[in-house]
Structure 1
């Protein structure tokens, strides 16, 4: 389901989590929230929220996802794994020079 972010404070309403503070149950889409619903963090109106997409969806413009070596089409969790695995391998490579005689 589509997530929405408050432009005032950055709070993200996720239907998969609901809103416990305002007693909104899990699974309620943003469009079905009451008209008087407010951001639980900064109390901003519902109209100050903007759609940020589905969680785990590749970021960026749709037309740019096909460029590169396939990394652009990866979801953020896979990109993070690739980046930190590369950093760990680089660190281990540099540390291996301590064992060279």
Structure 2
């Protein structure tokens, strides 16, 4: 499982943990996160995240 960090604010999406507050179950791969996902801290899109 990989981790992806927001290039703007540093928030981390961990595939193993998911983002349950946003309706994304643990184990959800980044590729399977909806394309309209926005960073919960700063609001940027998936294109502003880099693999850690």
TM-score, scaled relative to structure 1: 0.49
Q: Structure 1 segments of 4 or more deviating over 6 A?
A: none
CA distance in 2, matches of 1:47, 1:25: 20
Structure 1: segments with no counterpart, 5+ residues: 53-101
Specify the structure having the higher radius of gyration (Cα).
1
Give RMSD over aligned pairs: 0.8
More helix by share: 1
Count of residues in Structure 1 that have an aligned counterpart in Structure 2 = 52
CA distance in 1, matches of 2:20, 2:9: 18
TM-score, scaled relative to structure 2: 0.91
Structure 2: segments with no counterpart, 5+ residues: none
